[in-house]
Amino acid sequence: MSIIVARDSVGTKRAVRTGLASRQALIAYIFLTPALLYFTIFFFYPILLELWASMQSITDFVGLANYLKAFQDQRVWETFKVTVLFALGVTLLNIVIGLALALLLDLPFKGRVLFRAIFLVPYMSSLVIVGLMWRNILDPQVGILNRILFSLGIPQQSWLTDYHLALPVVIGITVWQGVGYTMILFLAGLQGIPKDYYEAAQVDGAGAWTRFRHVTLPLLAPTMLFVVIIGVINSLQAFTQAFVITQGGPADATRFYVFHVYNIAFNENNLGYASALSFIMFVVILVLTLIQWRLGNKAVEY
């Protein structure tokens, strides 16, 4: 009789736990519903809609014809090349300069909080305003930078109209505007590293470079991974710089991929082809992010 009672007790407890787990799952799904609806309406549905639109022409359904056209379009490849160069330049410079600033402003000196705020101000400013400001500064006729060069006896430059200068200049403007955010991320990563590690390394006789290489860099790997992924995603979607500063010129030197898509959609009124190009970039960004994530997860294991 006692065995039967014990079994009933176990079964009752199991049923209670199952019922409790079901209720908790139901409550969780209820709280997740607004987020799921948001992503469905504003993320998944637009992707499906864009995929459908990419298989349309102005008048009828064309299947994969727009995609075949994209892969055969030399101008698409040129704009993609420009965008990749831009993304590499911006991401690498953001990492190098952002990390250097973070290391400098992590040192204990008076006024470091003020300097952190100063470097962060450009990032908090609108990219449109930043673009207009730099376009005026770099104007070949009335720009203040060329006036300074002239006063110093240095040849003036066509910063935004020279084919070889335009892209590096736009990269520099983008880095100037966004490096403060990268600096803050690295600062947060540096402040999360226990000081005991540095003290132990110093006791072992490690110098500043050795501590940086064997302590700081490995422990900053998760932050570095985040900076690279976000930097690549944002750079591949660059649009405002080309639209505001250079209009894609000169000679398509700064004609970024998204700016090219914008022109096809709204200047050439070819929404189907533009949708196909947009979906191709979506797939490229998704694949690159997954690759970086896989490689980065291996790199951050320490």
Residue ranges of the domains in the chain? 1-53, 66-299
Residue-level pLDDT at 301: 47
* Cα atoms in the Cβ-side hemisphere of radius 13 Å centred on 295: 10
Element (DSSP H or E) covering residue 72? helix 65-72
Please state, rounded to an integer, the average pLDDT across all residues of the chain: 86
Residue closest to 215 by CA, chosen among 188, 229, 196, 234: 196
- Give the pLDDT of residue 180: 93
Whether the ω angle into residue 34 lies within 30 degrees of 0, i.e. cis, is: no
What CATH superfamily classification does 66-299 receive? Answer: MetI-like (1.10.3720.10)
pLDDT tens-place string over residues 88-138:
999 999 999 999 999 999 888 888 889 888 988 999 988 899 999 999 999
Give the confidence band of 6 by pLDDT, cuts at 50, 70, 90.
very low
Summarize the confidence of residues 44-70 as an average pLDDT. 84
pTM score: 0.84
Percent of the chain whose predicted confidence (pLDDT) is above 90: 44
- Segment 178-220, tens digit of pLDDT: 999 999 999 999 988 888 888 888 888 888 888 888 888 888 9
